[in-house]
Amino acid sequence: MSTTAVPRLPRPPIPRRQPAARTRTREATWARPALVLLLAATAAVYIWNLSASGDANSFYAAAVQAGTKSWKAFFFGSLDTSNFITVDKPPASLWVMALSGRIFGFSTLSMLIPQALEGVAAVALLYAAVKRWFGPGAGLLAGAALATTPVAALMFRFNNPDALLVCLLVAAAYCLVRALEKASTRWMIAVGTMIGLAFLAKMMQAFLVLPGFALVYLVAAPTTLRRRVLQLGAGAAAIVVSAGWWVAAVALWPVGSRPMIDGSPTNNIFNLILGYNGLGRIFGASASGGGGGGGGANFSGSPSLLRLFNDLMGGQASWLLPAALLALALGLWTQRRAPRTDRTRAALLMWGGWLVVSGLVFSLSSGVIHTYYTVALAPAIAALVAIGAVTLWRRRENHTARAWLAGATAATAAWAWILLDRTPAWEGWLRVLVVVGGLVAAAALLAAPRPGVLGRRVAGMTAVLALTACLAAPVAYAAQTISTGHTGSTPSAGPATAGAFGGGFSGGSGGGQGTSPALVTALKAGNYRWAAAVSGSKSAASLELATGGTPVMAIGGFNNQGGNITLAQFKAYVAQGEIHYYIASAGGPGGGGGAQRPTGARPSGAPSGMPSGAGFPRGGAGFPGGGARGGVAGRAGGPGGGGPGGGGTTSAITTWVKAHFKTVTIGGQTVYDLTQPLT
């Protein structure tokens, strides 16, 4: 019996594990615990001692409190539950804080913990965005740099809308990274959605990232030009939908049944967008809608290319700015011949476009630019520094790469010395430590790397020393910021410097400080639509917080840019018995109620002149003026309708009240009882 030999098939080769897989495995063993530690530390530090800031910015705190009591106030971002006027920003950031207050009750912690968690989310998203292309080391460095930026430590523990703005913009950048990988339409729609939601936090400032984002997608997305353009259109449509639904609702809502729009003298949402929160910030009083006039220099110094480095703004976010600009310039030069879809160049264009456009706007604008606006630069600075540092470190065998690393380290330490020297009485030893550490680290970086285990240990110690020299100063400023309570409308990070405010300066009344218990009791008594009318939103906010949310009418709004009802309208409210007291304020539209104004800050704009026909004829059931009950001119039971000037100035209302109503002294405060006419 014959047998046929079965041919033996060749044994398939044993697949070898790819180096990338081994690298990812090794990275996972330390990267994930390091990320968890970073996020946990950020959360713990940002939440620690939050109660020290009380109501923080009382203007926004009162709106948050109103949102916990009235869904209408919640939707519009009204300052009071009776919906006389909104705040001067869209309400997205208020929504987050008010929802927390509805769940846990309104308090400092329920209001500020969501802000702190937005900071943690921003750090996590920045880590994810940088890590995808440059590894976990770069992601961790970027996240740590953002978390320890002094102005970030301030604004993620405060109730201004900047916290949500930055979180959403970093989310948009992460989505853009994902979109660039495979030219994904879905991810581009996500980019637009995040930017649209950021618009609902702080309006036009959210759009400062658009030039850089659009440029990088047009240049680097791995698809045809036609498809790139169409996908950008899809992203733009997502912006319109995600931001426009609320704008359309406000614009189409009957004027008589919604609150007035603060920041808009014409009570128009588009005027607020394009004027006060748009061109007004760039051009000042010359722009339609103002934007607070040309007072920006009083808060952030005169417009110039070096404004971000001056005594007022420098200590906020510029500690790593020279290194970030160096990394951007060097990276773009070295990648100049790279393929169109090169990811390193794409990342540099994305973060660099964000930094350059926003930085130039903040530097050159003539309108109101506060120092804390620089928190919007912190993610881009952190990403560029991390990308540059890690890229050069991986090439440290090359002498040129070591030279650039050494130079950046020395320059960062030198700039930290200059910034620290602006507060010579504060921790003077830190300047010496930073400079000495920076010089030693620079010298070690210049030295040729040693082989073997000893060489790796020396390299590790050198990296730690360089990072310490670069981050010690901003970490110290951030620690000082966290350990100090901050209140008012003009907070600033770090210790006070010459010409700047820091260390918890109060730029406005908070929590009803200075409001007597007797006045609180009087305002809470009775059932009135508004317990009182005052001049300015900050005065009204202070009283509302002191009384647990009792509505107060804020005539003139935050900065005399809204709430300009006519005298006839005010008379009609009085005739209807809807306002109990009038509290004349000596602080102007933005002051009163114990509010303080920063030294050198431009006072609020003076009210326009006395209207014609100021004889104030009396009439209507014993109440002076106003005609028949219910005859609110131009309104159907709502508070607004009056434009700037005309018969609706604060001065006209104050003069009329003083001439026709009895004064009452309550807790040492002179108020006018609008239910007690003189005759």
Mean pLDDT by 10 residues, the chain (679 residues): 47 47 64 95 96 94 97 97 96 98 97 98 98 96 98 97 98 98 97 98 97 97 97 98 97 95 93 92 65 59 94 96 97 96 97 98 93 97 98 92 95 96 92 94 86 79 94 96 92 78 47 76 94 94 96 92 89 95 63 34 30 31 34 38 47 92 92 93
- The reported pLDDT for the residue numbered 260 is 96
- Provide the 3-class DSSP secondary structure of residue 552: strand
Supply the pTM of this predicted model: 0.87
| Alpha helix ranges (H) inside 205-313 | 210-220, 225-252, 269-271, 280-283, 296-300
Residues 6 or more apart whose Cβ sits within 8 Å of residue 346:
180, 216, 219, 220
Distance of CA 461 to the CA centre of its chain: 37
Q: Which of 178, 169, 240, 234 is nearest to 208 (CA)?
A: 169
194 contacts 175 by C-beta, under 8 angstroms: yes
User: Helix (H) and strand (E) counts for the chain?
Assistant: 24, 5
Give the integer Cα–Cα distance in Å for 389 and 130: 12
Neighbours of 461 (CB within 10 A): 12
pLDDT value for 501: 53
Output the pLDDT for position 299.
84
Burial class for 263, CB neighbours closer than 10 Å (0-12, 13-18, 19+): buried
pLDDT of residue 560: 84
Three-class SS of 219-246? HHCCCCHHHHHHHHHHHHHHHHHHHHHH
579 contacts 533 by C-beta, under 8 angstroms? yes
- Position 585 scores a pLDDT of 63
55 vs 107: CA distance, rounded Å: 8
Q: What is the pLDDT of residue 504?
A: 52
Q: What pLDDT sits at residue 28? A: 67
What is the per-residue pLDDT for 93? 97
pLDDT at 453: 67
